[in-house]
Amino acid sequence: MPASSAVITVPNILSFARIALIPVFCWLSANERTRLWGILLFAVVVSTDWVDGYVARRTGQVSELGRILDPVADRLAIGAGLLTFAISGIFPFWAALLILVRDVTLLLGGAALLWGRDIRVEVRWIGKIATASLMAAIAWIAWGNAGAPLGEVLLVGGWLAYVVGIVEYYIAAALYVIDVRDTLAARGVLEE
């Protein structure tokens, strides 16, 4: 579906709303009395990841801004949640770093290689599944470590989702690197 140059669309408004809720769930999560509400709001924000894209495709409101805004909203929400939960002591720093290092490396490396080249790398299903697994894992681990109801069950499920998700996350990263390399080579930017 071709993308429009529209800025004010329902999917873009949904993405902006998700971004606007990031400071709210961070603030709630940082306060011990409201922490569980913060974790729940984080879970809602990241679990609605698919909504803006679905609405865009169903209503024909796919836009260039939306193609950038949707993944930015996801990465900002995940990054802010990880940092807030790690600082609050309900998510291990090492586990947060494994996610954040991959995201920052792909972002900076991809930006450096693709800047000004009008190249778009399509999202792979393994990347989507990995992101969904990690989103669930982050929320469940934080919930369990916060001592919430059903916390022990969600903690076990969270660590299982984390292990599967982090492996998929790095496999997806390797595949994206190959996609970028192949695209640059096809355009004659890289020597074969």
Q: Where are the domains of the chain?
A: 10-186
- 47-74: pLDDT as tens digits: 887 787 778 778 887 777 777 788 888 8
Calpha distance 4→7 (Å, rounded): 9
46-to-17, 29, 108 alpha-carbon distances in Å: 12, 15, 22
Query: In the prediction, which pLDDT does 58 show?
Result: 85
The pLDDT-based confidence of 131 (bands split at 50, 70, 90) is very high
DSSP state for residue 99 in the 8-state scheme: H
Domain covering 10-186 in this structure, CATH number = 1.20.120
- Among 19, 75, 18, residue whose Cα is nearest residue 51: 18
User: What pTM was computed for the model?
Assistant: 0.87
| End-to-end alpha carbon distance in the chain | 32
Calpha distance 66→71 (Å, rounded): 9
Contact (CB, 8 A) for 154 and 140: yes
Query: In the prediction, which pLDDT does 9 show?
Result: 82
